[in-house]
């Protein structure tokens, strides 16, 4: 961040404030309003922080209008097509892609932390069998600080790095065990002979009674899903992690806070909403009637998985996910699943319909990821859990960046108060 040399002058009731204009490497300039309250006696009002830069970051850049998503400067398409999830994790955490030796060391470190403390097994027995896997994930991750004390000293760089490695390594284990628990199946331990995506699939679907062979096409698809969800700039859950972290809370608690924020249907549940929509449509014969309702503003019917709040043109992740989707469906030879057939037909109609093309309502990453995950046999209750596994890398990278920033301060948003003015306490007899 640098001062551009430009200054915006704002006047209010005879007072004047000079607001420096700051420039980043990419993206629009921002006004530095830190002294506006002192100079003018006012705060700014921006519900949802949609027009406010809450921090300075070097990790991810998004230009929604142009459909650009960069991690440390690298386009997401190149990373998803050429890198592994472990390479992307190293990139987000450390700022650069690893050399071969660095990558080997990084992968080995992650593998050394995939096991959970054996007492953590007891946590799962405390949940009902019908508990949502996100509830299990959130509770168990928040409790990790009770087992890994040496990783909670946030003032120590070694401690911060240790916690980062543990979180990235243990999230797939906790997530898979949450699924196994709800199914009443035996927990499957991590295997160090498998890569990150393969290991997750093994812990999800293997059984102690027989060997499990990972399908390489499905493993690569899972790796791409993880890459495409690894970080997405200052979204709701990432901002939650940063806000919690600004208080000095330990990293396990901060990531649990991020998981809780991600759980909301307006954030992490979008791909689950896609499958719910497809189930409501029912069959390909009902698509024309459904499309007509979508076009009718008074119907209240929404086309889930199309368009994006951030990307006004196209979601750069969607094209990669689209190709991956068709690879997975082809590999599995799925031809008789009504829901997946319906999704493919809806995709064909929507990408050619003038109404959707004009409004840039193209299928987004959530549309395709929901189809892929269902085809792979992952239940909808696990969709957001898988999102959390991927996003943990981004969350912990953003957390580390914030903690290591000189002059870092606790987050303290202001408000526009619209309640009652000051008044005196009345007795019971005076209370109308």
- For the stretch 19-66, pLDDT in tens is 889 888 998 888 888 888 888 888 888 888 888 888 899 999 999 888
DSSP result, 229-271: TS--SS-HHHHHHHHHHTTT--HHHHHHHHHHHHTSTTTTTHH
Clarify whether 308 is annotated catalytic.
Answer: yes
- For the stretch 207-231, pLDDT in tens is 999 999 999 999 999 999 999 999 9
Q: Is the pLDDT reported for residue 1 higher than 80?
A: no
**Which residues of the chain form CATH 1.10.580.10?**
74-405
Pick the CATH number of 2-53 from 3.40.50.300, 2.60.40.10, 2.20.28.60, 3.30.360.10: 2.20.28.60
Q: Is the pLDDT reported for residue 3 higher than 70?
A: no
- For the stretch 155-207, pLDDT in tens is 999 999 999 999 999 999 999 999 999 999 999 999 999 999 999 999 999 99
What's the angle, vertex CA 94, arms to CA 92 and CA 96, rounded to 5? 80
Q: Of the listed 223, 231, 315, 366, which one is catalytic?
A: 366
Q: Is the pLDDT reported for residue 133 higher than 70?
A: yes
Clarify whether 366 is annotated catalytic.
Answer: yes
Q: Of the listed 90, 308, 315, 326, which one is catalytic?
A: 308
- For the stretch 92-108, pLDDT in tens is 999 999 999 999 999 99
- Strand-strand pairing, 68-71 and 60-63: antiparallel
- For the stretch 381-431, pLDDT in tens is 999 999 999 999 999 999 999 999 988 889 999 888 999 999 999 999 999
**Which residues of the chain form CATH 2.20.28.60?**
2-53
Q: Does domain 74-405 have CATH number 1.10.580.10?
A: yes
Residue range 256-261: average pLDDT? 96
Torsion angle of alpha carbons 14, 21, 316, 268, nearest 10°? -60
The pTM (predicted TM-score) of the whole model is 0.89
- For the stretch 331-367, pLDDT in tens is 998 776 777 778 878 888 877 888 888 887 878 888 8
């Amino acid at each position: 961040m640098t001062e551009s040399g430009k200054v915006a002058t704002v006047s209010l009731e005879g007072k004047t404030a000079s607001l420096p204009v700051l420039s980043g490497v990419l993206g629009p300039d921002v006004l530095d309003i830190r002294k506006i309250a002192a100079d003018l006696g006012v705060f700014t009002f921006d519900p949802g922080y949609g027009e406010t830069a809450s921090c300075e970051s070097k990790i991810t850049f998004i230009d929604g209008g142009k459909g650009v998503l960069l991690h440390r400067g690298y386009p997401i398409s190149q990373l998803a097509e050429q890198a592994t999830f472990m390479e992307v994790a190293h990139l987000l955490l450390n700022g650069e892609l690893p050399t071969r030796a660095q990558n080997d060391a990084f992968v080995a470190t992650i593998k050394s932390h995939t096991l959970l403390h054996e007492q953590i097994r007891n946590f799962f027995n405390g949940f009902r069998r019908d508990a949502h896997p996100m509830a299990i994930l959130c509770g168990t991750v928040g409790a990790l600080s009770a087992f890994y004390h040496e990783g909670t000293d946030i003032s120590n760089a070694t401690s911060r790095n240790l916690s980062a490695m543990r979180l990235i390594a243990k999230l797939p284990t906790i997530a898979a065990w949450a699924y196994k628990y709800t199914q009443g199946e035996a927990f499957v331990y991590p295997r160090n002979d498998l890569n990150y995506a393969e290991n997750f699939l093994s812990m999800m679907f293997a059984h102690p009674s027989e060997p499990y062979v990972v399908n390489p096409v499905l493993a690569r698809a899972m790796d791409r899903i993880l890459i495409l969800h690894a970080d997405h700039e200052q979204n709701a859950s990432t901002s939650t992690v940063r806000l919690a972290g600004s208080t000095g809370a330990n990293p396990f608690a901060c990531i649990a806070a991020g998981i809780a924020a991600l759980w909301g249907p307006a954030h992490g549940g979008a791909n689950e909403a896609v499958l719910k929509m497809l189930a409501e449509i029912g069959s390909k014969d009902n698509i024309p009637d459904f499309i007509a309702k979508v076009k009718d503003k008074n119907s209240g019917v929404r086309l889930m998985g199309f368009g994006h709040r951030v990307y006004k043109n196209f979601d750069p992740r969607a094209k990669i996910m689209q190709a991956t989707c068709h690879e997975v469906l082809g590999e599995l030879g799925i031809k008789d699943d009504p829901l997946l057939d319906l999704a493919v037909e809806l995709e064909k109609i929507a990408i050619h319909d003038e109404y959707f093309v004009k409004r840039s309502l193209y299928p987004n990453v959530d549309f395709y990821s929901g189809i892929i995950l269902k085809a792979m046999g992952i239940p909808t209750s696990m969709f957001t859990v898988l999102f959390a596994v991927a996003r943990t890398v981004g969350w912990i990278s953003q957390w580390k960046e914030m903690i290591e920033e000189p002059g870092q301060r606790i987050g303290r948003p202001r408000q526009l108060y619209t309640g009652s003015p000051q008044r005196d306490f009345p007795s019971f007899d005076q209370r109308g």
